[in-house]
């Protein structure tokens, strides 16, 4: 009888964990790669900025550079598109479409390009009705978007949190996690969930967030200034007691991008940021 109870308990525990955990086996160490935002933001004018606009050539060039310089050999294994990649409207079936002038080969081909170089391919969406820059968001399109990303062979999704009621976040972020899991493709899942609750820390439970996301932004967007770097360092300093027990393999706090190499960042600032991150 006791054995039976123990067995039942184990089954129950397994059931609970399988229905509440992300459990995709990814991000055993903190994910590292290259992301475009703080260098190129939402620059979509490719006539004016042919070498610095959000298009497929930019991501291919960065992927090439990662391999040429050997960053991949020390762990920087992914290239991430940020906001402003899609067309302003979904297609007739509600499917997201990459901007056809800036991504003429399409996302699946771009993913293939990364994979041939041994790199992972990351994409950006937003849980709200629109992304932060006003492109179509995933709200009420979670399933089709997860399926689209899986069909494009995406390896990583950054899901931002603009244009949605903060009280919906505990519903929306787990829902997208569930839809990603349902595609059968392991897709690393980065949530901006707590970063939108900075003013309501009582609503942030990292033990819950860690069950649904591989990594999450805690705090403000970084930018290429010392003030920004210091504000993030100070935030992490103050919140260590809350952060340390709630991270580990598969679930990481994300202090946002390294801005090393950007205009305005001196060597001393770069060394400081790199050391603390």
Ligand X SMILES: *[C@@H]1O[C@H](CO)[C@@H](O)[C@H](O)[C@H]1NC(C)=O
Stretch that binds ligand X, among 162-170, 208-216, 224-232, 257-265 (CB under 6 A): 224-232
69 belongs to the catalytic site: no
Query: Is residue 23 close enough to count as binding ligand X by CB under 6 A?
Result: yes
233 binds ligand X (CB under 6 A): no
- Match 């392991």 to its residue by tokens: 186
Whether residue 188 contacts residue 225, with contact meaning beta carbons closer than 8 Å, is answered with: no
166 binds ligand X (CB under 6 A): no
Interface residue with ligand X among 2, 48, 116, 227 (CB under 6 A) is 227
Question: Number of residues in contact with ligand X, rule: CB under 6 A?
Answer: 21
Q: Which of 126, 153, 155, 160 is catalytic?
A: 160
Q: Which residues contact 226 (CB under 8 A, 6 or more apart)?
A: 269
Contact call for residue 129 and ligand X (CB under 6 A): no
The backbone torsions φ and ψ at residue 245, rounded to the nearest 5 degrees and listed phi first, read -75, -5
Q: Which of 149, 223, 221 is nearest to 187 (CA)?
A: 149
Q: Is 228 in the site for ligand X (CB under 6 A)?
A: yes
Asked if residue 164 lies in contact with residue 139, where contact means CB atoms within 8 angstroms, the answer is: yes
212 part of the interface to ligand X, by CB under 6 A: no
Catalytic residue among 57, 64, 220, 221: 221
> Which DSSP category does 244 fall into?
G
Three-state SS string over 175-198 comes to HHHHHHHHCCCCCEEEECHHHHHC
Residue 34: in which H helix or E strand, if any?
strand 34-35
Should residue 48 be labelled a site residue for ligand X when binding is judged by CB under 6 A?
A: no
Q: Is 262 in the site for ligand X (CB under 6 A)?
A: no
Tell me the closest approach of the beta carbon of residue 178 to ligand X, in angstroms. 9
Tell me how many degrees the CA angle 237-242-246 measures, rounded to the nearest 5: 120
DSSP result, 185-240? S--EEEE-GGGGGTT-GGG--HHHHHHH-SEEE-SPPP-SSHHHHHHHHHHHHHTH
Q: Is 102 in the site for ligand X (CB under 6 A)?
A: yes
Interaction pattern, residues 175-204, with ligand X; x per rule: CB under 6 A = ------x--xxx------------------
The answer to whether 176 and 142 have CB atoms below 8 angstroms apart is yes
Check if 221 is active-site.
Answer: yes
Could you tell me the smallest distance in angstroms from the CB atom of residue 14 to ligand X? 9
Comparing CB distances to ligand X, the nearer of 66 and 157 is: 157
Q: How far is the CB of 228 from ligand X (least distance, A)?
A: 3
Q: Which of 109, 163, 220, 235 binds ligand X (CB under 6 A)?
A: 220
Please state, in angstroms and rounded to a whole number, the distance separating the CA atoms of residues 228 and 57.
29
Residues of the shown chain interacting with ligand X in the complex, contacts defined by CB under 6 A: 18, 21, 23-24, 44, 46, 87-88, 99, 101-102, 181, 184-186, 220, 223, 225, 227-228, 231
Q: Which residues are catalytic?
A: 160, 221
């Amino acid at each position: 009888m006791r054995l039976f109870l123990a067995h039942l308990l184990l089954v129950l525990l397994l059931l609970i964990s399988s229905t509440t955990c992300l459990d995709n086996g990814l991000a055993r160490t903190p994910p590292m790669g290259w992301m475009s935002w703080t260098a190129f933001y939402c620059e979509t004018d490719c006539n004016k900025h042919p070498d610095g606009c959000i298009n497929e050539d930019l991501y291919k060039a960065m992927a090439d550079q990662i391999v040429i310089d050997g960053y991949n050999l020390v762990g920087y294994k992914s290239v991430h598109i940020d906001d402003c990649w899609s067309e302003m409207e979904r297609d007739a079936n509600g499917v997201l479409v990459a901007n056809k002038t800036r991504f003429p080969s399409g996302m699946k081909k771009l993913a293939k390009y990364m994979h041939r170089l041994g790199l992972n391919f990351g994409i950006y969406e937003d849980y709200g009705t629109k992304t932060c820059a006003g492109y179509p968001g995933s709200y009420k399109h979670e399933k089709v978007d997860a399926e689209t990303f899986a069909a494009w062979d995406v390896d990583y999704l950054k899901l931002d949190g603009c244009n949605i009621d903060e009280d919906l976040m505990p519903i929306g972020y787990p829902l997208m996690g569930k839809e990603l899991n349902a595609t059968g493709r392991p897709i690393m899942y980065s949530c901006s969930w707590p970063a939108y609750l900075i003013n309501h820390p009582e609503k942030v439970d990292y033990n819950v967030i860690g069950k649904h996301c591989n990594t999450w932004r805690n705090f403000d967007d970084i930018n290429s200034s010392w003030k920004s770097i210091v504000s993030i360092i100070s935030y992490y300093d103050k919140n260590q007691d809350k952060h340390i027990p709630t991270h580990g393999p598969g679930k990481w706090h994300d202090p946002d991008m390294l801005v090393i190499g950007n205009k305005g960042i001196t060597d001393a600032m770069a060394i400081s940021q790199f050391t603390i991150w």
